[in-house]
Structure 1
Amino acid sequence: METKTGTAQGAVDGYLMADFPWYGLDQAFTGRRWLGSVAVSADGTVEHGSIGHGDEPSVKTETIDPEGLRFAVVVTVARRPGRRSADGLGVLEATSVSSAAWLAGSGLLSCTWPTHMERNLRQDWLDQQTAAAWDIADDLDGSAWSSLTLPVDGEPTPFHYRESEYGWVMAGAARGVHLGAYGRGMSAYGLGLSVVRDITTYEH
């Protein structure tokens, strides 16, 4: 089971605990950068996390109009083989590019749900859309995806890419990690990704 660290110093500490590099947009992006959340397994191993750029979406307030948001979030997922859980009672699946695609897809949904929807219907909608996002992420060679090549640490890198009414999602791989990204109001075309040199400089 995974838990997530929140914001403030706990978020920075979570990122510093990781045994893999974090990725964000490269230096061509000059706007605001902020920390998302980190997922940590029961044995304290950091599994994945996200780093945001631009506006910071929030599911805690209804005063923010998703239509006006402009952001890109990069999700870094550690490459892990299939392994036993910390309690020895279960097995954790190996991570893959599909894992990054699903995390990116569900991340986009969580911050762009229709604000006009009745509160008691939102969770049902989110559950249904998240399940659909997993099905799509599990079929990266399917017709829902196209190809997009972007620089990662300066090297041309292929990504699976898709757009929806909520924004865009992409997923690929880099050295030792799987990468996902999602955004809205910022075009994915022309973006570049690179290793974050100093995570403590990000806002939290």
Structure 2
Amino acid sequence: METTSRTGVQEAVASTPGTSALPSASVAHGMPAEARRKIDGYLMAAFPWYGLDEAFTGPRWLMQAVASVDGTVEHGSTGHGDEPSRRVETDGEVPGKRRFAVVVTVASRPLRRSADGTGTLEATSVSSAAWLAGSGLLSCTWPSRMEHALRQEWLDQQTAIAWELADEVGGEGWSQLSLPVDGVPADFHYRESEYGWVLAGSASEGVHLGAYGRGMSAYGLGFSVVKDIAAYE
């Protein structure tokens, strides 16, 4: 992976969770305006979204669909279980009690020129999905009791580690895990840490899949195409 793609992904991860990075479109008529704005990015994607399969019966929620500067939707995430929260510092909640799994769908893209024509964008890969999943896990599991002066240093350090691991997704830092995708067993790269787990692989629908979670075991999960993304609202 090259610095160009890493910078783009970092900017996407830094966006406010749950807020669409795309302009509003006239879609999903009959839904409240606020709901339309949140779901528009997902509806504008030219690829299918993935989530946990029907075996998961808990809450589902949208996170964010992210687009390139030309408006092409590149990736996004769907959430399952308890929504991660950063309110633990103010509401007294015990960190780590929330149980969730987030599925990241990344469009499979070839090496291509940037929208402004000044450079190229690296092809997306399983490493792209691994990086997005690793960064997503960090964004919702950082040590809430850590001093603010040390928090950014910790986040920078862990982000660098996540990047290096994603860049060597087939290395010693990962193990192999087989999980069903649309009912068919698929191989994933998997790793655990004290903050949760991350996995990455590919689907048959022209997308790469990443996932991360905490409090929910990855071993019993299955993935499938989301038939109605509005059900996540």
By the TM > 0.5 criterion, same fold?
yes
Distance (whole Å) between structure 2 residues aligned to residue 12 and residue 65 of structure 1 = 31
Once the two structures are TM-superposed, the CA of residue 59 in structure 1 deviates from its matched residue by 3.6
Q: RCO higher in 1 or 2 (8 Å CA, sep ≥ 6)?
A: 1
Once the two structures are TM-superposed, the CA of residue 202 in structure 1 deviates from its matched residue by 0.8
Distance (whole Å) between structure 2 residues aligned to residue 27 and residue 192 of structure 1 = 8
Distance (whole Å) between structure 2 residues aligned to residue 138 and residue 71 of structure 1 = 25
Distance (whole Å) between structure 1 residues aligned to residue 119 and residue 85 of structure 2 = 34
Distance (whole Å) between structure 1 residues aligned to residue 103 and residue 49 of structure 2 = 9
Give the 5 Å matches for 1:172-187.
172-175=201-204, 176-187=206-217
- Stretches of structure 2 lacking an aligned partner (at least 5 in a row): 1-7, 21-34
The percentage of counterpart residues that share the same residue type is: 71
Contact 1:77 1:100 in 2 (8 A): yes
Max Rg structure: 2
Contact 2:86 2:144 in 1 (8 A): no
Measured against aligned partners, the alpha-carbon deviations of 1:148-187 in whole angstroms (never above 9, x if no partner) come to 0000000000000000000000000002000000000000
Contact 1:83 1:94 in 2 (8 A): yes
Contact 2:106 2:208 in 1 (8 A): yes
1:12 aligns with 2:39: yes
Contact 2:88 2:144 in 1 (8 A): no
Residue 51 of structure 2: aligned partner: 24
One-letter identity of the residue aligned with 2:209: L
Superposed structure 1 runs of 4+ greater than 3 Å apart = 1-5, 63-66
Query: Relative to total residues, which structure has the larger helix share, 1 or 2?
Result: 2
TM-score (normalised: structure 1):
0.94
- Of 47-56 and 86-95, the range deviating more from structure 2: 86-95
Q: Report SS of the residue matched to 2:146.
A: coil
Residue 81 of structure 2: aligned partner: 54
Residue 115 of structure 1: aligned partner: 144
Q: Report SS of the residue matched to 1:24.
A: strand
Once the two structures are TM-superposed, the CA of residue 9 in structure 1 deviates from its matched residue by 2.7
Query: Relative to total residues, which structure has the larger strand share, 1 or 2?
Result: 1
Once the two structures are TM-superposed, the CA of residue 122 in structure 1 deviates from its matched residue by 1.4
1:193 aligns with 2:223: yes
Q: Report SS of the residue matched to 2:153.
A: helix
Residue 157 of structure 1: aligned partner: 186
One-letter identity of the residue aligned with 2:51: G
Q: Report SS of the residue matched to 1:189.
A: helix
- Of 77-86 and 62-71, the range deviating more from structure 2: 62-71
Contact 2:179 2:188 in 1 (8 A): yes
Distance (whole Å) between structure 2 residues aligned to residue 65 and residue 122 of structure 1 = 18
Contact 1:102 1:134 in 2 (8 A): yes
Contact 1:76 1:180 in 2 (8 A): yes
Distance (whole Å) between structure 1 residues aligned to residue 158 and residue 146 of structure 2 = 14
Root-mean-square deviation over aligned CA pairs = 1.5
One-letter identity of the residue aligned with 2:107: A
Once the two structures are TM-superposed, the CA of residue 124 in structure 1 deviates from its matched residue by 2.0
Distance (whole Å) between structure 1 residues aligned to residue 88 and residue 53 of structure 2 = 30
Distance (whole Å) between structure 2 residues aligned to residue 182 and residue 66 of structure 1 = 17
Distance (whole Å) between structure 1 residues aligned to residue 167 and residue 49 of structure 2 = 24
- Stretches of structure 1 lacking an aligned partner (at least 5 in a row): none
